[in-house]
Amino acid sequence: MANITVNLSSNIINTLFKEINNNDTLADSIAGFFRTENSFGDNHPSFTNASLDNGRLHLSYSDGAYSNSDGVVQANPNASSGTATATSLEEYYPLHFRLTATGLINYIYSINGANTIIDTSGATISSVNIQSLLPSYSPDYDSLLGNGTDTMTGSITIAPGGALSGTVSSLSYKAEKIVASSTLSGNFSISSSNVNNSPNLGAMTVSGTASSFIEKYTDGSILSLTNLALPVSSSTVISPDLLGNEKNFAGDDVFDIVMGSPLTKAWTFASGAGNDKISLQGGGNSVLINAGTGNDTIRLADDGHVINGGAGNDTVILSANRAAYTISKTVDGYNLQTNGAAGPIDTLSGVERLQFSDATMALDISGTGGQAYRLYQAAFNRVPDSAGLGYWISAMDKGMALNDVAALFVSSKEFTDLYGTNPSNTDFLNSMYQNVLHRAGDPAGFAFWLGHMNAGDVTRSEMLAYFGESTENQAALLGSIGNGFTYSPWG
């Protein structure tokens, strides 16, 4: 079960979320850490000074850059050449970035006066942290977010030849402005043919599953996706567009959406399969809900939304009384508008039920709601009582077949009182025409059904169900229930 929380202020919507655009793939995001590290070496091919003191190897460069390797252990401390390891690395590139990494870093070295050579020879990295240090006048400086800090954790092996493999468990980011923190967690297998091939890194491949994505903003806004089981690949883009793919949400998911203002581009939330719970406030018709399959509930705190309930038995919950709204049938569903207001309209499709603060309404005139109403009216020649109707709607929602309900109606005392204890087939059929269609049977139709009843091809309960669902009866009741009807829910 995924839990989705989207609570965005107008300020965040009008800055970061004005348009839903993000083209950075997961492979690009991970590769960026190694491209940054490579750029340090590309811009600093030789150091001006080297020192080793208390396990720290310090290299300085002519432009003020430096690198520190801590926890240094030489395989043979007395040799003028050989190998060594370090447990952490810091690279400082003035006006560009500071990079820190932890793990086990391998070195090869040769000490020969001015010709001293120190180079890396593979590593196993558990974390990498890159802090941007760009001045505000730099063309690469992000004027909206300012400088940022990116962090990657996992277990990544870099072979001496440059090939890369391993797993990533999290990718995090925070900015000087607006973004307080942003973290993608999961288990991602990664590989690249040559991490030393700056800037392309060979072919970076990513596969695995994301378990959460949480982004917090400095004004208290939040975008949170937790309890995920989201398959990811090299081309996956971690962006709000993920929320519009119903394949990403196959369980009984919970969506809690609060939007401070509408976006300039529509944002779709697709809850996919499962019995989902969705609450929505704000955003107007720029927020589109696609509830997918399952018996979903969508709670609306205000107006102007576009809701597609999809397959299943879906309920929209509203905070006001039934009398506060005008409901009108459309080609695809229903429109819902507050009475006396020229404001936003809720556009509903694939929605079977409306739950007001004082009443519940069935909109599924062609579904179990409408069938239960027509069968009730056909059996007892009266408007169904609200409680009884609610009971049978509940039974049919849970899977009871129309013919089975009809059989119970036929065996009821009210039915017997209306049709007689043991009427003949002729009398029963005459009563069907009069009580359901309110007319005498046409000779051809009457003879047809009487013949089938006499032959035992059709039971009386099946006749009741047929008359209730007949085109004529549906048309006759359309004026009464065509815009939905209220009932008392059972249980």
Q: What is the pLDDT of residue 202?
A: 57
Q: Map tokens 């669902």 to a residue.
A: 469
pLDDT over threshold 50, residue 344? yes
Of the pLDDT bands very low, low, confident and very high (cuts 50, 70, 90), residue 269 is very high
pLDDT over threshold 90, residue 340? no
| Residue 151 CB-half CA count within 13 A | 16
pLDDT over threshold 80, residue 203? no
> Cα–Cα distance between 463 and 257 in angstroms, integer?
48
Q: Where are the domains of the chain?
A: 1-16+239-358, 23-204, 368-487
CB 292 within 8 A of CB 272: yes
> Cα–Cα distance between 194 and 164 in angstroms, integer?
7
CB 263 within 8 A of CB 288: no
pLDDT over threshold 90, residue 270? yes
Q: What is the pLDDT of residue 196?
A: 52
Kindly compute the dihedral angle of the four CA atoms of residues 389, 384, 337, 267, in this order, to the nearest 10 degrees.
30
For the segment 405-424, what is each residue's pLDDT rounded down to a tens digit? 999 999 999 999 999 999 99
State mean pLDDT over 221-240: 95
What is the model's pTM?
Answer: 0.92
Q: What is the pLDDT of residue 490?
A: 93
pLDDT over threshold 60, residue 129? yes
> Cα–Cα distance between 352 and 363 in angstroms, integer?
5
pLDDT over threshold 70, residue 95? yes
Of the pLDDT bands very low, low, confident and very high (cuts 50, 70, 90), residue 198 is very low
Q: What is the pLDDT of residue 370?
A: 98
> Cα–Cα distance between 364 and 361 in angstroms, integer?
9
Percent of the chain having pLDDT more than 70? 97
> Cα–Cα distance between 59 and 70 in angstroms, integer?
12
Q: What is the pLDDT of residue 197?
A: 47
> Cα–Cα distance between 239 and 288 in angstroms, integer?
17
Cα first-last separation, the chain: 25
What distances in angstroms separate CA 303 from CA 7, 347, 414, one per listed residue?
17, 9, 43
Of the pLDDT bands very low, low, confident and very high (cuts 50, 70, 90), residue 2 is very high
pLDDT over threshold 80, residue 22? no
According to CATH, what is the number of the domain 368-487? 1.10.3130
For the segment 209-228, what is each residue's pLDDT rounded down to a tens digit? 999 999 999 999 999 999 99
What distances in angstroms separate CA 150 from CA 22, 32, 155, 173, 373, one per listed residue?
17, 10, 17, 5, 60
